[in-house]
Amino acid sequence: MLAEQTRNFWTEAKCAKAFWGQQELPAYRRLLADTLDWAAPEPGEKWLDLGCGSGALTRGLWEYSAGRVESVVGVDCAETNQRKYRRLQLALTPSLTERIQFLCHNFSVDGLGIFQQNSFDHAVSGLSISYAESFDERSNAWTQTAYDRLLAEVLRVLRPGGRFVFSVNVPEPSWIKVGLRSLTGVLTARKPLHFLKKSARMLRYGAWLKREARCGRFHYLPWETVVGKLDSAGFSDVEHRLSFAGQAFIFRAVKPC
């Protein structure tokens, strides 16, 4: 029973594939555009994409810079997402696969020790860092230790002056609101029935995410709490805004010089 309760669907191919379809949702496209607007990648920069999934933000960074960023490294705990990155590497123009990389790594558990200090100019993350999980055996409770550690690790791997632009869900997010905003996607989808099936799968996993957040395993936090955590980690110039049909905050924070 405990194994089932602590099962992490994020590492499983079925869950990862369910969220490949979120790029078709109008609310998600708005979130992606808002995130890239604040990221504003420039030529020659090295970027880290945390919890990269199928690579929507990685593609966005590449296209926003007209293929002139130096590199993007996508990190995700689901190995199946490497398939999407292989296709992405071939689809981008210019097609230089060594500049777009995918690493299967669970930063929730293992942190970012695979990267040296000041490895990246900037970092992005789309609706991912909330799932950094840590369990305290002594208190028999989930904690926010992994979340706090991850923020400190992002600060470490950024160069001085580097930006961290990321989105996280608001407390008690309403997937219904996201769904209602996405109804137009049914009309524009090439395969409407397939679109509806993928949306239903995401809703099912969304119910799991909200349930786990309520027990403290995952972290849908008020914006004030996230700002406090960024300050404690050592970031400065913290800003935030709403997106994703009002169901996600986007944050932008800077590593002091």
What does the domain layout of the chain look like in residue ranges? 2-254
Average pLDDT value for residue range 78-95? 86
Average pLDDT value for residue range 141-168? 97
pLDDT confidence band for 116 (50 / 70 / 90): very high
Q: Which pLDDT does position 7 carry in this prediction?
A: 84
Which residue reads 């995952």 in tokens? 218
Which stretches of the chain are assigned E, i.e. beta strand? 46-50, 71-76, 100-104, 122-126, 134-136, 141-143, 163-169, 236-243, 248-254
Average pLDDT value for residue range 170-192? 69
Q: Which pLDDT does position 110 carry in this prediction?
A: 84
Q: Which pLDDT does position 3 carry in this prediction?
A: 42
Whether residue 203 has pLDDT greater than 50: yes
How far is the C-alpha of 40 from the C-alpha of 72, rounded, in Å?
A: 14
Percent of the chain with pLDDT over 70: 88
Q: Which pLDDT does position 1 carry in this prediction?
A: 35
Whether residue 96 has pLDDT greater than 80: no
3-state helix, strand, coil in the chain (%, to 5): 50, 20, 30
Q: What is the pLDDT of residues 1-47, one digit of tens each?
A: 344 457 888 888 888 888 877 777 888 999 999 999 999 999 999 99
Average pLDDT value for residue range 116-140? 96
Q: Which pLDDT does position 2 carry in this prediction?
A: 40
Whether residue 192 has pLDDT greater than 70: no
Q: Which superfamily is assigned to 2-254 in CATH?
A: Vaccinia Virus protein VP39 (3.40.50.150)
What is the sign, positive or negative, of the torsion defined by CA atoms of 168, 172, 176, 180? negative
Inter-residue contact 75 to 49 (CB < 8 Å): yes
Exposed (0-12), middle (13-18) or buried (19+): which is 127, by Cβ within 10 Å? buried
Average pLDDT value for residue range 148-152? 97
pLDDT confidence band for 183 (50 / 70 / 90): low
pLDDT confidence band for 130 (50 / 70 / 90): very high
Average pLDDT value for residue range 72-81? 95
Which one, of 75, 35, 76, lies nearest residue 57 by Cα? 35
Q: What is the token pair recorded at 150? A: 């991850």
Q: Which pLDDT does position 187 carry in this prediction?
A: 52
Q: Which pLDDT does position 91 carry in this prediction?
A: 85
Q: Which pLDDT does position 18 carry in this prediction?
A: 80
Low-confidence winner among 131-135, 196-200, 209-213 (lowest mean pLDDT): 196-200
SS3 162: coil
Query: At what angle are helices 56-64 and 26-39 packed, to 10 degrees?
Result: 50
Q: Which pLDDT does position 188 carry in this prediction?
A: 55
Q: Who wins on pLDDT, 175 or 75?
A: 75
Average pLDDT value for residue range 48-66? 95
